[in-house]
Amino acid sequence: MKLSDLLNELEEEETQPVKEEASPNFKMLFFRYYSKWYWFALGLFICLGIAGAYCYFATPQYWISSKLLLKDEKKGADFRDAATITDLLGYGSSSSVENGAEMLKAQNLMIKVFEELNISNAFYIPNGWRRWKEIYGSEVPISIVIREKNEFIDPELLEESKITFYLKNDEEFYILSPSGELQTIKFGQTIKNHFGTFSIVKNPAYRPVPNFTLENVPIVIAFYDPVGAGKYFSEKLNVDIVNKLASVVELSMLDEHPIKGKEILSKLIEVYNKEAEVEKNVAARNTIKFIDAQLVGLSSELDSIEKQAESYKLRNSITDVSAEAELYLSSTTINREKLSEFSIQIEVLESIEEYLTKQGNDYEMVPSTLSIQDPTLSALIAQFNQLQRERERMLRTTQPNNPIVLNINQQLTSLRGSIVENLRNIKNGLVISRDNLSATDNQFRSRAAQAPTIERELLDIGRQQGIKQQHYLLLVQKREEAVLSLAASSVNNSKVIEPPTPTDLPVNPNKKLIYAFGLIMGLAFPFGLIYLKDAWQEKIQLKTDVEKLTSTKILGEISRNKDANGMIAISKGKRTMIAEQFRFIRSNLAFTTYNKSNKVIMVTSGMSGEGKTFFSLNLAISLGLVDKKVAVLEFDLRRPAMLSSLGINVPVGLSEYLEDEQYQLDDIIHPLAMAQNVSVLGCGKIPENPAELMSGERLIRLLKELSQRFDYVIIDTAPIGLVSDSFILNEFVDVTIFMLRYNYSTKAQVKTVEDIRKHKKFKMPLIVLNDADGEMIYGYGGTYGKKYYQAK
């Protein structure tokens, strides 16, 4: 490619719009964040310190779990004999794994667990600095004997009831209350606080804890109400159905002490089985109770009839049935059997009706209808008993005024009325049938009137005895069935697959996870702060910040001048990084302005302090090193700083030359002794009207003569963002160099440069970036670049 073609492409690039997005330079981003390593070090120190403190102070907790196989009729999980259950289905209650899981989570079960375990206290011993460890069971050297517990205890008062135990001797101990009061008390002496009345005695089952001696070691005793503790542990308990196709549930919980958690889960399973057994046997027990009450009356009646028959036979000397009665018996056998059956059924119905209408039995199970074969009555009684069981189950977890319980009560009242009405209808039908049968029987009796009166009366006594005997046998049979149902249902409602087992080591706190989280947060938090800081940062920090905002060519970058000797950063034979950067800029300037006039170069900036004077002077020296004659003009007529920084004092400068015709150009040109081929033109005195002074013909003559006598004229002018001097000089210059300083110049200044380029307000605008870190130059911190240059 020809050089002219390359230059044409560069000119086309100048007219291109600013690229809004650029591919990120990950290496640059790495060093950008790496330079803030102390932020990350501080973040890691704080976050890991917090993680360590949390792991230290957090109470270790063990995971206790158990697996149960629950009875579920839908899934075939039943622990009783199938044939027996088939015969006794009328005395059971339906069950499912879902219902069992909900019952296990019920608060009332956990409350009963704490009441049966008699857990009302927790004991803690020191376990390091400001840490406490719970001890339980045989680990506790003392026992709390509750004499009387307050019925209602405020949780805040329970917290105030905490006491600290110190052993004094074998007979006495100290008690320190939360208020700081210290008391000396004997073992077994009565103590009172907000919890109630209690005493402290020695634990006979005490087994010393390793590395723990009772002397001079405090034991903190905490009190809590079993009801509140039951509710708290109920919330901690997890009940999970392991598989939808199986009736297995897993019970699990976290607790500070593994043995305590194990005992709580074991007792919970035991209490659950007891409650389930009570619920499913309610109907059978009520039936047995009802039959026992009926048998007492029947036994008395049978005894009376048997005695009557015995007396009658003795009084009438009866030993055998006469031949005349055989004909009557053969013709009335069927009627007697039906009459007996009707009588039994009527008595049963009257007994059930009396049971239902009796006060106090509103919420009791209705006994089985025994020999009454009526589908409607059986269905109503079955529905009534099912609602009774549902009501009993709801009352275990809810209050009687619960809307669901009230609704069940209404349904029970309605069903009770329907059952009574059905009983009366059936009884009326049986009475009519019995009366008809009695009339038929009377006809037979009238036909057998010739039979001896004695035989007839004996038959009547026998008939009554038979009725009572059949009724008695029926009730005995039904009672035995109910007893068998109880025996069959005595099997637990659940089977333990895996007994409650705690983990060997605490699972909480998970130190690895906490430290990993602390490590991540220790890195993420500083990263986020730096990112937010950069996102809100208005000052340019990287070269890409400038490239995103403007398409103006960047002539080069200058690293931070760490030489405290002065303004001169480049000289003959000097190969420091900053010296080579100026040489690089010199080459770029020549290449950029190839085949163009570049005699007059104006160096400006957006604000003071961006390094334009430093750049102007060192650029001039670098051009002088290649045998170019360079004149540097201190044209910042408001705040001149170049000559004063070089330690040069001249009587006459640019302001005198522009203001007074008597001064010639040679009067203000001063060769720079510390650099070859470089001359400086100082500002002189600070004029009152700099802008008007630069508008005269003397300025044009000055720049024209300098262009003839020097190869390059570098004008160090005032910032464009503050005054208009640069715009006045713009028509005389060939190249305009804008100085931008990292972490100093703002993005608004870059946008101003872009506006100047886009609207061509200055000739050939270029940018030089000043005060770059070493990592931002040539590969962002490559070791080769650091070793290649001279140190100074």
The pLDDT value given to residue 740: 92
Return the H-helix or E-strand segment holding 198. strand 196-202
Q: Are 471 and 344 in contact (CB under 8 A)?
A: yes
Q: Are 219 and 142 in contact (CB under 8 A)?
A: yes
Q: Are 627 and 765 in contact (CB under 8 A)?
A: no
Helix 323-357 to helix 453-488 angle, to the nearest 10 degrees? 40
Which residue, among 379, 361, 360, 362, has the nearest Cα to 422 in the 3D structure?
A: 379
**What is the Cα–Cα distance from 375 to 387, expressed in whole angstroms?**
18
Instruction: List all residues 6 or more positions away from 271 whose beta carbon is below 8 Å from its beta carbon.
Output: 109, 112, 113, 116
The CB-based long-range contact list for 539-542 (8 Å cut-off, 24+ gap) reads 539/742, 539/743, 539/744, 539/745, 539/746, 539/747, 540/740, 540/742, 540/743, 540/745, 540/746, 540/747, 540/750, 541/32, 541/742, 541/743, 542/28, 542/32, 542/742, 542/776
What are the residue boundaries of the structural domains of the chain, listed by start?
A: 36-58+511-535, 62-277, 282-488, 540-776
Instruction: List all residues 6 or more positions away from 421 whose beta carbon is below 8 Å from its beta carbon.
Output: none
Q: Are 47 and 482 in contact (CB under 8 A)?
A: no
**What is the Cα–Cα distance from 350 to 360, expressed in whole angstroms?**
18
Q: Are 195 and 153 in contact (CB under 8 A)?
A: yes
Angle of CA points 258, 263, 265, to nearest 5°: 95
Three-class SS state of 744:
coil
Beta strand 735-741 pairing with 600-605: parallel
Beta strand 248-255 pairing with 142-149: unpaired
Q: Are 585 and 621 in contact (CB under 8 A)?
A: no
Q: Are 556 and 596 in contact (CB under 8 A)?
A: no
Tell me how far CA of residue 773 lies from CA of 314, 320, 335, 570, in angstroms.
136, 136, 123, 18
Other Cβ atoms within 10 Å of 600 Cβ, number: 23
Q: Are 474 and 371 in contact (CB under 8 A)?
A: yes
Strand-pair partners of 508: 61
Return the H-helix or E-strand segment holding 260. helix 258-280
Structure tokens at 735: 């190249």
Which residue, among 217, 234, 297, 238, has the nearest Cα to 271 in the 3D structure?
A: 234
Q: Are 219 and 174 in contact (CB under 8 A)?
A: no
DSSP character string of 363-381: TSPPPP-TT---HHHHHHH
Across 611-653, where does the E strand assignment appear? 630-635
Beta strand 142-149 pairing with 678-681: unpaired
Sheet of 142-149, strand order: 142-149, 196-202, 190-192
Instruction: List all residues 6 or more positions away from 784 whose beta carbon is below 8 Å from its beta carbon.
Output: none
3-state secondary structure 282-304: HHHHHHHHHHHHHHHHHHHHHHH
Structure tokens at 558: 């200058």
The pLDDT value given to residue 542: 81
Mean pLDDT in order along the chain per 10 residues (792 residues): 48 49 60 78 91 89 90 59 45 66 86 85 85 86 86 69 85 85 88 86 80 74 82 88 84 90 90 78 74 80 78 66 56 71 75 72 66 74 79 79 80 79 79 77 60 67 79 81 67 78 89 91 87 77 85 89 72 84 89 78 88 90 91 85 82 84 86 88 83 80 89 89 75 90 87 88 90 60 50 55
Beta strand 735-741 pairing with 765-772: parallel
Is cis: bond before 24, omega within 30 of 0? no
**What is the Cα–Cα distance from 256 to 252, expressed in whole angstroms?**
14
Beta strand 121-126 pairing with 62-70: unpaired
Q: Looking at domain 540-776, which CATH architecture does it have?
A: 3-Layer(aba) Sandwich (3.40)
Taking every pair of C-alpha atoms in the chain, what is the biggest distance, in angstroms?
A: 182
- Encode burial over 123-142: b for 16+ CB neighbours within 10 A, e otherwise: bbbeeeeeebbbbbeebbbb
Sheet of 238-241, strand order: 238-241, 248-255, 62-70, 494-502
**What is the Cα–Cα distance from 390 to 382, expressed in whole angstroms?**
12
**What is the Cα–Cα distance from 349 to 578, expressed in whole angstroms?**
117
Q: Are 86 and 541 in contact (CB under 8 A)?
A: no
Other Cβ atoms within 10 Å of 596 Cβ, number: 11
The pLDDT value given to residue 332: 67
